[in-house]
Structure 1
Amino acid sequence: MQRRLTTRQALEMILSEVNPCDSDGEDIELQPDSDSDLSDLSSDEETAPQPKKRARLGTDLTETAKDGTVWREEQVGTRLPFTPIKAYAADGEPTAKARKSILSRLQGFLCFITLDMLHSIQEWTIQHAQETEHVHWFMALPELMAFIAIVILRGLTKVPSLRDCWSANLGNPHIIGTMPRNRFQDIMRHLRFDDRSTRSDRAKTKFAAISSVWGSFVTNCITSYNPGLHITVDEQLFPSKTRCCFLQYIATKPDKVGIKFWVACDLKSKYICNVLPYLGKDPSRPSGERLSENVVMRLMEPFLDKGKNVTTDNFFTSLSLAHKLLSQKTTILRQR
């Protein structure tokens, strides 16, 4: 038969260091016998410091990662201690510099591809053509701009091949009226973005053939637009069959071979805020730093400490990246 003890009796037994196992081998069950006992116990609890509560086994859903990080499952809506970050409130918009300088479509074009960049491309293209084809080969600056306009228009129209852009059935009248096909292909064959004679001095840079013009273009993209709250980061494969050491093969892409770029875009406008080519292993990347973290931090560098958010897929997301971004007033979300 079970012997029942009142709360007061049980408490006295514990305080007097009496071992309850010495009580004739009977099971002990704690049960309050009156309201007075409960009130006495409550008053004792108010005066005595309480020991820290321990979670019962099986109720604390935790998981320890390989790096020692302990993850704990929390109910949706649980309020957790954190330092709030004031979110960026404005929508994406052109910068003051861009709004001041862009008064026409042509000026909008020159905001990204400047006259200095065009003169460099013109100079090195003419130099290559005169060395390899004919000493009197020439290309005027308006002709180069028309060439670039056709390249942009080709990207907007779904025409199977370059030849079809000038065909009677599939051709685009704007392209046909701008430049003959043979002249377009002639410029394409000689198009250069740097002084080839000095390329050996820049051999350490895998992107040396275009790095100068490319760097100016990316800088213009960054300085011409203020992205909104949400910035997305992902990869994009630019189809190419050229011979280079950093060509990538990605079986899941429609065009499986090409040059891979890491791209940061404004979520609403789809504007390219920043972009990096993937050139293989980067010797400047700190030892032990993940490639994904390095890419996100480099792409987001111009936009940190402004209360913005990065949305990306599980390749880029990690706890250490979240801590790095949070330390610079930036948050991160994974794509669903």
Structure 2
Amino acid sequence: MVNENGKSLISKIMPRNRFKDIMRHLRFDYKGTRMERVGTDKFAAISNVWGSFVANCIKSFNPGRYITIDEQLFPTKTRCCFLQYIATKPDKFGIKFWVACDLKSKYVCNIIPYLGKDPSRPMRERLSENVVMKLMEPLLDKGRSVTTDNFFTSVSLARQLLSRKTTLLGTENKIRRELPESVKKPLDRNEFSTQVFSTSGATLTVYAPKRKKTVCILSSMHSVVETGDNKKKKPNTITDYKSMKCGVDVMDQMVREYSVRSGTRRWPVGVFYNMIDIAALNAYVLYQACTGVKERRVDFLVELASELAQGHMGAETAKKDNRLRQQPLTPGKGKRAMCQVNCRCKSNHATVRCVDCYKYTCGKCRMEIAWQCQVCADSVM
């Protein structure tokens, strides 16, 4: 991060050793009571800070009609009991989060960490349905539409959401028991053919892009399924799903493009890095929504970092100036001080202070002013 003159601002914020010391002792809870809280909350090491962050994300923005729900894998190999391995991800290991994201702005509306088996979840309720209902709880009853992948989508979930004035659109896994047997079997279908099944409150579209390949789309948003006029004859449920499924994936790409993530062996610090990245993205969305100014995200992040550091830098500068002002005019009788102007002159001794910045100044850093008599000074004026 550099300023207008090309000089680095990072070194002016704080010394490197102080930053390392802060990161070494960074904690987000009281360690004395952590063992008691871990018994009921695996996320206890950062749960208080995380809860405040999520609450601010929910209340700070009113998302649009279309919401995308998917998983995010924050890459890390720190030791924790809920570390996940997902072979299909670029980074195989990490902490998994369930994310609800606004489709248009990519604002993170709600986010939940996956901590393994949840004892509070009802026995007969699927994990996917429980996650979707938790993520959508602040956004229900407002006529929104949710897009999910085949892990979440089911008829029972569509009915639950529909009872809360929310529609569902997503691909459905063919192993679901609720699907008709004709859909589960790999039949030899006509290429680009479409078959539609309907039930109370939901429509199942089975599209065959190839002869022995089918795609199942469950929708409570479409009452009528229409096919296109082109060669592939794609139904509108397929085209709508393709345009709405990418919210969380694009958000994850944007977050990882400009990240504060660094190497760490402690998972709370890794979660904190992810929290800062998401907060920066949400701040960018809010800035554009409130001001209407279109600005590159990298420029916004640099400006944001500068403004956040400005208060700290101003306080440190004031403390330093106060210490310099309290220095005596001369080091003392028979004593000499080190030069405080240039770091390369610290071995040089000084006996006088600058009248402007109050720093002890050696002979190399001092500017001599020629003396004038009163007559010459009056003539110049």
> TM-score, normalization: structure 2?
0.42
Higher Cα Rg: structure 1 or 2? 1
> TM-score, normalization: structure 1?
0.48
Higher RCO (CA 8 Å, separation ≥ 6 residues): 1
